[in-house]
Amino acid sequence: MEETNNSSEKGFLLLGFSDQPQLERFLFVIILFLYILSLLGNTAIILVSCLVSRLHTPMYFFLSNLSCVDICFTTSVAPQLLVTMNKADKTMSYGGCVAQLYVAMGLGSSECILLAVMAYDRYAAICRPLHYTAMMHPRLCASLASVAWLCGLITSLVQSSLTVQLPLCGHRKLDHIFCEVPVLIKLACVDTTFNEAELFVASVVFLIVPVLLILVSYGFITQAVLRIQSAAGRQKAFGTCSSHLVVVIVFYGTIIFMYLQPANSRSKNQGKFVSLFYTIVTPLLNPIIYTLRNKDVKGALRTLILGNAVGQA
């Protein structure tokens, strides 16, 4: 019993990239820079979506929800990772690890559902333009966003609770960048067949099913766009959808690699870099893609900045 409780009493050793000090120092600077950019960019999207009346549409409502998820998701990982990378003692408290496990799992799952909801919104806008306002009315949009958040909460409570109940028998070394379900399952000193099966089912529900729905939506969208007579109209439709598709490919691709590929088929550093992508890089893609490539958001930002400048003058 003393050996089993060792992890909860002393916490975990979050090894990360500590075996490569030069790489760790380099990654510290990169992660800090990307994290700050992600906070600023996603906050800007939330502000313009709320403050600029012409952006009060379903697309930007879901986009602001996605930005909120991204801010919380990357904040659940990046600060702790930066603190751990910057000190010699790599210890993370047991309570901190469990809290990170629940929060990151819930937010990541919510983002999986939210990206599928955004694909449905694009389908409705492009394939059913005459019925779009009736289909995507405010009550439905709020309900869809609530379902995304609620699904994340439920799967986190179930999956994380099953994981923290596993006896670790004194194993404290987490050879990863943060506390994540697959990594903690590997530490367990009992048969984890049930946990692995449950994780696989959850991964199919939150990864494979949304990806299939997104692909079906974009199949219909592609057919509809090709029927548009105007070249400018086709270009605008493809531009809007390609932005969303880039986020989808990077986010789902990296998480599927982590959660559905057998752990023994990848090197230890592969899993760490893949996790960096969906926890640090993907949350930054959202503001980059939707601000640099979106005229509406750039115009709204310009309006807010100029309005504040005139007001101060």
The domains of the chain are located at 12-298
**pLDDT band at residue 1 using 50, 70 and 90 as cut-offs:** very low
Give the pLDDT of residue 76. Answer: 95
Q: What is the pLDDT of residues 110-132, one digit of tens each?
A: 999 999 999 899 899 888 888 89
The predicted model scores a pTM of: 0.87
Q: Which of 101, 108, 120 is nearest to 162 (CA)?
A: 101
- H helices of 12-164, in order, are 21-51, 58-75, 78-85, 94-127, 132-135, 138-164
Q: Do the Cβ atoms of 271 and 256 come closer than 8 Å?
A: no
Reduced to 3 states (helix: H, G, I; strand: E, B; else coil), residue 173 is strand
The whole-chain average pLDDT of the chain stands at 85
- Residue 13, pLDDT above cutoff 80: yes
- We find that the CATH architecture of domain 12-298 is Up-down Bundle (1.20)
